[in-house]
């Protein structure tokens, strides 16, 4: 999939025209044009030359976008804002003088003769047109290539007012007759107000990308590389895999790497959202853009600058912003025919008013007002500004949506399907209960168990070992260590037989009291595994081990259910364990003992009931993640799961899944509000501009007011989307 920069787009009609043209090319499987980002994403076998040529053939410019050192999008908007501001300042200066000559007489200001004043007005209006000639150039190109756009509407509307006024002026000068009304100020004011709207829009657009720009700002520009025993400062972009670089307190890590020497703490909040700095030591990983809070490290680069975790995050957010949400399809269809329809409506308006006896000037004014009040931009911006702001906000919270469709589908979620191990639970066993027999202490029981378990690599052994290390239990040496498959472990401690394993294995040499068997059965019903320990013929006690539920899982489930989602636990684990986890967290439905292939079919069946979000982390979750409406991968999970998912939860917290759904709903709400406004605005304002309400209410508009309304419509849509920058995750 390739991304292209597009130039010359004025409104949604432009993006729809380009999208239609490129989608029709042989070898193009997918095409999405983003009006907000002035970009196009294309997938297929069509060559770059074919695509660029096709875009140019309909009057626009295209070039392959660079994936490396892409300029921040708000820098582009700032540059655009400065250009528009200069045009606006000059236009307002000419317009102020023009208004003096056209309106000053009404309030008693001294005026030249009518014809002299008309000539001055014509010159001033022409100056405003020349300053804003881009509308006329773009609009004319659109007509020539049979793809009229918003600039076409502006050019025709303003141009018609100017040409009609010029005709009146020339006729009056030639005949010496009294001049009729001039509309030079309407022509100039319409263009100026449109330019004001474009300025406000460009400023607001830049704010929708604040989150992405903040991530780009994290990217270090230089790196201290150690070569031949000396530190050399080089551009971070020149770092190669295997290079050794040094970083000190207060410095930003230039690329992903592995610590070879040193220790200290690193602020990784920009990537993980975790406010507490992470302690790091030799052998651990570090990530580009994170900051050393204390300490000194020498690290080996494991990735180049364009392939770091930070770079991938930036690309994911930008790709999501550049894509199209399914909800935009209706707006796209309308936008494709919007401008031609408006031009036809304007012509019909002009003809009808002439037919019912209105003057040529009044009929022309109505037609011009229809042209300048209609706003295809609001339609085109309704979805992308919300998606861009939403995906950027998600990135700040450690939630990465890969596509615009993923954001929308998350907002529509009705069923949340969760894997157990590593998603709802920690993903690794830990000791939950230590029950020694009478006259034995917990530490004595752990000490003897430690002697055996430290010799094994089994996950349950690892849990007991970790518990003993945490408690600082003294280790003991044993002889004759043996693994009894399916039973347990045995050895000799100071000559005495020592065993650890299941109840049947221990009961071969030691008696187990009924009371402890009852407790063991209770643990089993909770999904815990019980390890019995004996020495010689005496039972020492039992240790219960379980994959513990994450601290925030129950809270996350409650939040998902509060938003109206049905929660389902889908796991390959045994029924008792799955039921215990569901009971502990409040999950609605349990589907257990499911094979990986069966997970996919279960997801497909649930999709018939509603939109499904699947949350998982393992290789066995990949098919299910891919088959769900939205697949969410826990960030600490496998690369395969992350690649199969539509969204990635960087913080590995189930609470982030609830936040993602909440954010998706907020984005969807903004999109619906924007589309409603865009359709409502045009549905009301176009008839109003055409004079439909005059016979009933007397309401009518001038072209200048129409132009102001059009400009503010686009500004409203962008500003509404900016509310997503204030989105708050669950506290």
* pLDDT over threshold 70, residue 369: yes
- Cβ-contact 372, 706 below 8 angstroms: yes
Q: How high is the pLDDT of residue 126?
A: 95
Integer Cα distance of 731 and 727 in angstroms: 12
Name the residues annotated as catalytic: 419
* pLDDT over threshold 60, residue 68: no
CA distances from 308 to 225, 321, 636 (A): 17, 20, 16
CATH dotted code for 221-307 = 2.70.150.10
Pairing of strands 630-634, 647-649: parallel
- Identify the CA nearest to 330 among candidates 671, 22, 25, 628: 671
pLDDT-derived band at 620 (thresholds 50, 70, 90) equals low
426-549 belongs to CATH 3.60.150.10: no
Q: How high is the pLDDT of residue 475?
A: 85
* pLDDT over threshold 50, residue 284: yes
Integer Cα distance of 573 and 527 in angstroms: 10
Tell me the mean pLDDT in the region 529-550: 91
Residue 72 or 39, more confident: 39
Integer Cα distance of 456 and 658 in angstroms: 39
Residue 72 or 21, more confident: 21
Q: How high is the pLDDT of residue 144?
A: 86
pLDDT-derived band at 14 (thresholds 50, 70, 90) equals confident
Q: How high is the pLDDT of residue 74?
A: 53
Pairing of strands 538-549, 566-570: unpaired
Q: How high is the pLDDT of residue 380?
A: 74
Q: How high is the pLDDT of residue 322?
A: 63
The fold of the 2-64 domain, in CATH, is Alpha-Beta Plaits (3.30.70)
Cα-based torsion angle of the residue sequence 343, 345, 350, 355 in order, rounded to the nearest 10 degrees: 150
CA 163, chain centre distance (Å): 47
Q: What is the pLDDT of residues 289-312, one digit of tens each?
A: 888 988 999 999 998 887 787 777
- Cβ-contact 160, 191 below 8 angstroms: no
Q: What is the pLDDT of residues 310-357, one digit of tens each?
A: 777 777 776 666 666 777 777 777 777 888 899 999 999 999 999 999
Tell me the mean pLDDT in the region 620-625: 76
Integer Cα distance of 201 and 533 in angstroms: 72
Q: What is the pLDDT of residues 15-34, one digit of tens each?
A: 888 988 999 999 999 888 88
- Identify the CA nearest to 372 among candidates 608, 187, 506: 187
173-187, 315-329, 475-489 — which one is most confidently predicted on average?
A: 475-489
Q: What is the pLDDT of residues 139-160, one digit of tens each?
A: 888 888 887 887 888 888 888 8
Q: What is the pLDDT of residues 201-210, one digit of tens each?
A: 777 666 666 6
Q: How many CA atoms lie within 13 A of 540 on its CB side?
A: 23
Integer Cα distance of 445 and 459 in angstroms: 19
Q: What is the pLDDT of residues 646-661, one digit of tens each?
A: 888 887 789 999 999 9
Tell me the mean pLDDT in the region 48-70: 82
2-6, 387-391, 512-516 — which one is most confidently predicted on average?
A: 512-516
* pLDDT over threshold 60, residue 72: no
Q: How high is the pLDDT of residue 324?
A: 67
Question: What is the average pLDDT value for the chain, to the nearest integer?
Answer: 85
Q: How high is the pLDDT of residue 554?
A: 94
**CA triple 96-100-101, angle to 5 deg:** 120
Integer Cα distance of 284 and 464 in angstroms: 24
Which tokens hold the place of 447? 């000490």
Integer Cα distance of 716 and 154 in angstroms: 19
Q: What is the pTM of this model?
A: 0.73
Domains of the chain, by residue range, sit at 2-64, 221-307, 426-549
């Amino acid at each position: 999939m390739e991304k292209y920069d597009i130039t010359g787009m004025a409104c949604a009609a432009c993006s729809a025209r380009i999208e239609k043209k490129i989608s029709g090319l042989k070898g193009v499987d997918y095409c999405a044009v983003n009006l907000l980002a002035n970009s196009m994403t294309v997938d297929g076998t069509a060559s770059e030359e074919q695509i660029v040529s096709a875009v140019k053939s309909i009057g626009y410019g295209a070039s392959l976008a660079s994936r490396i050192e892409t300029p921040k999008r708000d820098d582009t908007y700032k540059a655009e804002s400065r250009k528009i501001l200069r045009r606006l300042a000059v236009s307002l200066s000419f317009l102020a003088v023009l208004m003096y000559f056209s309106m000053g007489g009404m309030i008693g200001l001294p005026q030249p003769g009518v014809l002299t004043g008309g000539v001055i007005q014509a010159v001033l209006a022409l100056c405003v047109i020349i300053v804003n000639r881009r509308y006329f150039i773009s609009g004319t190109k659109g007509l020539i290539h049979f793809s009229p756009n918003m600039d076409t509407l502006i050019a025709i509307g303003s141009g018609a007012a100017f040409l009609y006024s010029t005709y009146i002026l020339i006729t009056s000068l030639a005949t010496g007759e009294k001049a009729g009304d001039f509309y030079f100020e309407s022509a100039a004011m319409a263009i100026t107000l449109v330019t004001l709207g474009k300025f406000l829009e460009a400023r607001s657009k830049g704010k929708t990308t604040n989150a992405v720009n903040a991530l780009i700002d994290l990217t270090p520009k230089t790196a201290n590389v150690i070569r031949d025993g000396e530190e050399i400062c080089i551009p971070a972009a020149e770092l190669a895999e295997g290079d050794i670089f040094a970083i000190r307190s207060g410095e930003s890590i230039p690329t992903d790497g592995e610590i070879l020497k040193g220790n200290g703490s690193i602020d990784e909040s920009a990537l993980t959202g975790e406010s507490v700095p992470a302690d790091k030591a030799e052998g651990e990983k570090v990530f580009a853009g994170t900051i050393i809070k204390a300490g000194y490290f020498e690290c080996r680069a494991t990735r180049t600058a364009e392939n770091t975790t930070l770079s991938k995050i930036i690309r994911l957010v930008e790709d999501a912003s550049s894509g199209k949400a399914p909800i935009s399809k209706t707006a796209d269809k309308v936008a494709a025919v919007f401008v031609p329809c408006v031009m036809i409506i304007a012509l019909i308006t002009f003809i009808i008013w002439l037919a019912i006896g209105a003057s040529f000037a009044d009929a022309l004014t109505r037609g011009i007002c229809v042209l300048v009040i209609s706003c295809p931009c609001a339609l085109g911006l309704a979805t992308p500004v919300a998606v861009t702001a939403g995906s950027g906000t998600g990135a700040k919270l450690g939630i990465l949506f890969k596509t615009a469709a993923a954001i929308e589908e998350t907002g529509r979620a009705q069923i949340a399907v969760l894997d157990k191990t590593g998603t709802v639970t920690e993903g690794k066993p830990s000791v939950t209960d230590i029950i020694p027999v009478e006259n034995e202490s917990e530490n004595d029981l752990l000490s003897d168990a430690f002697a055996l378990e430290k010799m094994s690599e089994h996950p349950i052994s690892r849990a007991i070992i970790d518990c003993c290390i945490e408690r600082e239990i003294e280790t003991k040496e044993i002889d004759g260590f043996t693994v009894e498959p399916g039973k347990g472990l045995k050895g000799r401690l100071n000559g005495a037989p020592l065993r650890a394993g299941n109840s049947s294995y221990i009961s071969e040499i030691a008696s187990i009291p009924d009371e402890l068997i009852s407790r063991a059965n209770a643990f089993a019903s909770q999904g815990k595994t019980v390890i019995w320990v004996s020495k010689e013929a005496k039972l020492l006690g039992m240790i219960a081990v379980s994959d513990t539920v994450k601290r925030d899982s129950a809270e996350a489930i409650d939040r998902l259910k509060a938003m109206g989602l049905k929660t389902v636990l889908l796991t390959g684990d045994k029924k008792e364990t799955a039921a215990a986890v569901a009971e502990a967290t409040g999950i609605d439905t349990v589907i257990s003992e499911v094979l990986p292939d069966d997970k996919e079919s279960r997801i497909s069946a649930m999709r018939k009931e509603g939109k499904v979000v699947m949350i998982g982390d393992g290789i066995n979750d990949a098919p299910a993640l891919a088959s769900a409406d939205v697949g969410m991968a826990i960030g600490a999970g496998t690369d395969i799961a992350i690649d199969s998912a539509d969204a990635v939860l960087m913080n590995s917290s189930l609470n982030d899944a609830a936040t993602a759904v909440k954010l998706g709903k907020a984005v969807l709400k903004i999109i619906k509000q924007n589309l409603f406004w865009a359709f409502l605005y045009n549905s009301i304002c176009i008839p109003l501009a055409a004079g439909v309400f005059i016979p009933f209410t007397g309401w009518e508009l001038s072209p200048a007011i129409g132009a102001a309304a059009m400009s503010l419509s686009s500004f409203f849509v962008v500003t509404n989307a900016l509310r997503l920058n204030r989105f708050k995750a669950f506290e």
